Amino acid sequence: MIDRRALLAAPLALAACERFAEAQTPARAVPGLKSITPFPVGTCIKSNQIDDPAWVDLAGKHVSQLTPEWEMKMEYILADGLDRPRFDGPDRIAAFAAERGMRLHGHTLIWYAQGEEAFAHLDRARFTAAFDAYIATVAGRYRGKVVSWDVVNEPITDAGDGLRDCHWSRALGQDGYIIRAFERARAADPDAVLFLNDYNLENTPRKGATFLKLVERLMKAGAPIGGIGSQAHLDIEIPAGQIRTFIRNAASLGLPIHISELDASLRSDRRVDLRSREQRLAQQTGRVGELVEAFMALPASQRFAFTVWGLRDTDSWLRQGERDDGQDQPLPFDAGGRPNPMFDAMVAGFTKRA
């Protein structure tokens, strides 16, 4: 009889062995990403990574900007309710960034996916006051410590057919809550660069176009929007040229652009994926290379920062929990800090001469 538990355990054991082997193999000498670019290179951070010497060393070599992955989000800050905000995690990250001489990018003040429970019991007047107070408290606390904020995160529907319906828009209007958030963020921190941030802008042309139309409306309405954040969670199967087109269209608005959350999974939503690993890596490096080259083609004043959403594959949100089979390579480095093909594609793009 086949031992089903042994069959299920085998892939996990193999993945664990691969991660152990990666950690034992020395990384080849490579240039620090931050040393080869005229703009900041960033990564996301969780406060517990500060206790990981290998992560600290890797980040110290390659990045000059940090984005809190979770601990500046409303879900974390308001975990104990509106009246008891917690700042232990983001405070620790802010202190670490300052100690290391790294820029800090705030992420994020208002997001459709969070805050509904904390605000649900409030009438319209109290809702509006609490909305204003939250932004004033959080953005004000980190005034002078962050250089920028994702003020509103992911306002466009997945299909790109309009703005999301959410608790913020129902109370304050679809454009209204966004404009109000930017105005309150500007009042709380007059010097921070204020970004609108979203995903799939390169992957889904309709969504990218709707996002840019929203940016134009905000600018015409006088909202103090200071930059465009493109998360760049790349679908490696999109046609060549699609990324370049979006970046060029975004650049036409004249605002700084932040590649804010780059990763590029090798996985596919297809039920049956017949691509070899080599084919998937070629697609990945092709799309990442296109993104880097499109960013490098921007005027210097529009290249705000280039951020990867994690450094090592095992740090990635794509490699957490039951979905992790130990095989995906969505980030520049493997579990042992050795450069992946994605790293080489980034270096090639950053150092390519016109």
Q: Which residues are catalytic?
A: 154, 261
- The C-alpha atoms of residue 231 and residue 208 are separated, in whole angstroms, by 11
Strands 148-153 and 41-45: unpaired
Query: Can the peptide bond before residue 314 be classed as cis, meaning omega within 30 degrees of 0?
Result: no
The burial of 342, by beta-carbon neighbours within 10 Å (0-12 exposed, 13-18 middle, 19 or more buried), is given as buried
Report the C-alpha dihedral over residues 32, 33, 37, 43, rounded to 10 degrees. -130
Kindly report the length of the chain.
354
In this structure, are residues 308 and 342 in contact, taking their beta carbons and an 8 Å threshold? Answer: no
Alpha helices in 156-251 (DSSP H): 167-172, 176-188, 205-220, 242-251
CA distance 60 to 324: 27
> 14 with 44: CB under 8 angstroms?
no
Residue 118 burial (C-beta neighbours within 10 Å; 0-12, 13-18, 19+): buried
- Rounded to an integer, what distance in angstroms lies between the CA atom of residue 151 and that of residue 329? 30
- What is the DSSP annotation of 252-292? TT---EEEEEEB--S--SSSS----HHHHHHHHHHHHHHHH
Q: Which amino acid is at 141?
A: R
